[in-house]
Structure 1
Amino acid sequence: MSSQQTYDFVIAANRLPVDRHVHPDGSTEWRTAPGGLVTAMDSVMRGWESGAAWVGWAGFPGEAPEPFDDGKLRLHPVPLSGKELSDYYEGFSNDTLWPLYHDVIVAPTFHRSWFTCYRTINQRFADAVCEVAAEGAQVWIHDYQLQLVPAMVRDQRPDLRIGWFNHIPFPPVELFAQLPWRATVLRGLLGADFLGFQRPDDARNFARSCRAVLGATTKGDKVEWAGADDGRLGAAPRTVRAAAVPISIDASGFRELADSPEVQARAEEIRESLGDPDVVLLGVDRLDYTKGIRHRLRAIGELFEDGEISPDQVTFVQVATPSRERVEAYRTLREQIEGMVGRINGDVSHLGATAVHYLHQSYGREEMAALFQVADVMLVTPLRDGMNLVAKEYVTARHDGGGALVLSEFTGAAEEMPQAYRCNPHDIAGLKETILQAIRDEPAEKERRMRGLRRRVRKHDVQTWAQDFLAGLAAAPEKPGRGGSKETS
């Protein structure tokens, strides 16, 4: 154990909650990073009187900065070289696990060297967690990039209470079984005391995989594994709880932002810049093949071509935040989407009336809150999504009672938001009908739906999510001090 200061609460995630900004004079500044996890965890982390630590990559390759403080929060950077970034993050995390966990929408790539690097980086994260965690501390590990960390931490520090939360779907065993390193990943996850998932189906998929791959037994939300006398990762017997704890947003904070005079004024400017159409349709996504942007554009294009909607009255705004542009599948996707936008506008737009506005860039929270208030219909139509917080942000921003949410049944949010206009994005004809219904329904019907959606998000906000997860961690079946294991190999 290092002599450095240790903490009773430790977060481990792929990224730190801050981004480094370099000014023209060469000076640097750390700013709070955008993103749902940072917003979600902020109040939780800062609520620890004794302070808390966050372990993560600083966002640039090379040597990591020395640990530093952000208020009462200790930030502990983990280094990644350019090659490690390519193999661990762009490779195994995002070209192997990401497509596999999202219904194999594109084929995953399996490289042994990528997994070797993934394991090396997971061990580096685990070592950093063990360095900053106080005796008996609570450790909360996040997401698919760090699935081996729970067992790696357990091997070194059986005194810790360890939780892990998956922000993306967990696939059915029939898909998960394709992974050559499936047993190692499951053994890594079983190092936790409590595993949180977005949907009940995800928790059940994990339990089924443990039964099929490891021969574990399950009862209710508990997974029991007898262990293995092989000296490999996570060899000790374990009893783990796996349950759904759906994530949410800072509803009160986002509503306050949306209600600010500056955001209200910006919303008016945006609508005017679009030509003040009768109906604004909006999509906001990372540029990712799981988000269903191509299916959405196809449906919108056909509605314009069929004459069901006209660019004189209706315009569609698609914000596509740049994402993983060094991965080939994402470069191809961008080319396809930009081609579709060009064809639609070339076929149906005319001077003064643009059918589709395509914005391939990132926007701050204020701009997004303004866009949400402009949107008469929000299109959230992923092919598969763990949760999708955009849907929750939209209904929160529309505190005026207006708007309509079209929501894919393949999002985690669909299980929590039954009043949305549900759709199957693979069914283009059905998607077109759902969009038209959301446009044409009576205002009273739309207001009724939105009222129920806002009530749900307000009641189940990010603070409720964090409290529910930590309560599940505290009530986990294993007691700290059990489950130390043999040497990792």
Structure 2
Amino acid sequence: MSEQYRFVVVANRLPVDEIVDDDGKRAWTRSPGGLVSALQPTVRARRGAWIGWAGGTGEAPEPFALDGMWLHPIALTQQELDHYYEGESNATIWPLYHDAVETPAFHRHWREAYRRVNQRFAEAAAELAAPGAVVWVHDYQLQLVPAMLRELRPDLRIGFFLHIPFPPVELFMQLPWRTQILKGLLGADLVGFQRPGGAENFLRLTHNLGLEPEGDRVVVDGRTVTARAFPISIDVDEMEKLAADPHIRQRAKQLSEELGGHRRLLLGVDRLDYTKGIEHRLKAYRELLAEGRLSNQDVALVQVATPSRLRVAQYRQLRERVEREVGRINGEFGEVGLAPVHYLFRSYDREELLALYLAADVMVVTPLRDGMNLVAKEYVAARTDNSGALVLSEFTGAAAELPEAFGVNPHDVDGLKEAFVAALETPAEELGERMRRMREHVCAHDVGRWAREFLDALGEPPG
């Protein structure tokens, strides 16, 4: 039997991506994304194992140690990638859990692939977990794993955390195999959500299984399952160290000159996803330019759009619409050497993102629906001098924690316009006080506290 671990994380992706240089040498680099940023310090501190897909199809790489963690890759075939990941996970569950912003699709062969892949993850966790270990399962791609793992290893303490919103009962009931999903989640001892409303929705649904929840708990087969909110956060220390790095600060100055010169910068950093509200944001910005309330001479919008799920038709169509709108704005309002919108369709490493955060006068975070949105918290953590402004959608988990942001309903284009203008025109003294209070909260509620609170509630054994 291979070495076993007292702490095991199970997530759809490993926290690293494989890269191959010009000489054919293979190496691993840290993956982008909020889940990795939040979890990697926790796994590393416990010298635990992380089970996840390594990217690509065919045989998985051999397990390996990296950065104080044991990484165990899971294989996916091309068909499983199509059906489990792009199908059931991202064309059925993702849109349904995000208030059906796009219409979810339901296909039986997708569900079977989802079940099969979840079983593979559960079996890997059962093999790697030491007796009585803690296994922490993550996110919407793996909602069947807790029950599958409990059947294989009833000795384990199993936690599950959902990083995206959990939908209202009326939406969840559309799932053709809603009972299996509920039973899958109830295999955990602790089910965590970003907001209290998600836990309440989940507990209400247990009535459909003939269960009677009391408070935040429900008894299942003699076990007590707890459902509670644990708002996720970021590694504040890392963000502050990067923000203080002279090279990054110099890069921020360079970006300010390259992107705007004397102009003030609004910044959006999002995956290219229909839940992120990018189209609404661009429409609001175009109208402000057309009305003369903002001038291309004075303000520029920088939109980073990280490529995402481009084999899914809805995402390809979104990219076309976004790029068409960017072209329209730049064509109507641009001047030689002075573009109103800088559209950056690529991934950026942590250092370059930090430089962008430092260069931006206003951070624009306006999803139509989001579980938390860690970009908002990263921006706040990076602004160590208490400068800058945050425009924040009411439909993010972060909005409940950062009331000093310029809150906005992203469906309301006129409201978006007013929030943009307010963030640009509010006196620096008031902006500084808003940012100071937001920073106090984020610094006091970092990712370490989030993990500790979840694992304490789960009953993580000592040491």
What amino acid sits opposite 2:21 in the alignment?
H
Contact 2:134 2:460 in 1 (8 A): no
Report what 1:4 is aligned to.
2
What amino acid sits opposite 1:103 in the alignment?
D
1:364 corresponds, among 346, 349, 352, to 349
2: CA distance, partners of 1:111 / 1:287? 24
2:132 corresponds, among 103, 119, 136, to 136
Worse-superposed segment, 263-272 or 16-25: 16-25
Q: In percent, how many aligned pairs have the same letter?
A: 57
Q: Output the TM-score relative to the length of structure 2.
A: 0.97
1: CA distance, partners of 2:279 / 2:68? 44
Report what 2:290 is aligned to.
305
Report the alpha carbon displacement of residue 443 of structure 1 after superposing the two structures with TM. Answer: 0.8
Report what 1:447 is aligned to.
432
SS at 1:318 equivalent: strand
Report what 1:122 is aligned to.
118
Report the alpha carbon displacement of residue 156 of structure 1 after superposing the two structures with TM. Answer: 1.0
Greater RCO, 1 or 2 (C-alpha within 8 Å, sep 6+):
1
2: CA distance, partners of 1:175 / 1:250? 33
Query: RMSD between aligned alpha carbons?
Result: 1.3
SS at 2:267 equivalent: strand
2: CA distance, partners of 1:274 / 1:33? 26
1:330 corresponds, among 294, 312, 315, to 315
2: CA distance, partners of 1:20 / 1:56? 13
2:25 corresponds, among 27, 30, 34, to 27
Report what 2:69 is aligned to.
73
1: CA distance, partners of 2:316 / 2:165? 23
Q: Output the TM-score relative to the length of structure 1.
A: 0.92
SS at 1:308 equivalent: coil
Q: Does 1:106 align with 2:102?
A: yes
Report the alpha carbon displacement of residue 210 of structure 1 after superposing the two structures with TM. Answer: 1.7
Q: Does 1:214 align with 2:206?
A: no
Report the alpha carbon displacement of residue 6 of structure 1 after superposing the two structures with TM. Answer: 1.0
Query: Are residues 72 and 264 of structure 1, via their aligned partners in 2, closer, same or farther at CA, if it must alter by over 3 Å?
Result: closer
1:173 corresponds, among 169, 175, 189, to 169
Report what 1:465 is aligned to.
450
SS at 2:320 equivalent: helix
1:376 corresponds, among 361, 371, 380, to 361
What amino acid sits opposite 2:186 in the alignment?
L
1: CA distance, partners of 2:187 / 2:385? 46
Report the alpha carbon displacement of residue 237 of structure 1 after superposing the two structures with TM. Answer: 4.9
What amino acid sits opposite 1:61 in the alignment?
T
What amino acid sits opposite 1:148 in the alignment?
L
SS at 2:275 equivalent: helix
What amino acid sits opposite 2:209 in the alignment?
L
What amino acid sits opposite 1:344 in the alignment?
I
How many residue pairs were aligned?
461
Q: What is the correspondence of 1:273-292 to structure 2 with a 5 Å cutoff?
A: 273-292=258-277
Report the alpha carbon displacement of residue 303 of structure 1 after superposing the two structures with TM. Answer: 0.4
1: CA distance, partners of 2:186 / 2:304? 38
1: CA distance, partners of 2:347 / 2:189? 37
1:61-108 deviations in Å (ceiling 9; x for gaps): 001122222254221111101111110000100000000000000000
What amino acid sits opposite 2:365 in the alignment?
V
Report the alpha carbon displacement of residue 475 of structure 1 after superposing the two structures with TM. Answer: 8.1
1: CA distance, partners of 2:371 / 2:389? 21
Report the alpha carbon displacement of residue 434 of structure 1 after superposing the two structures with TM. Answer: 1.2
What amino acid sits opposite 1:375 in the alignment?
A
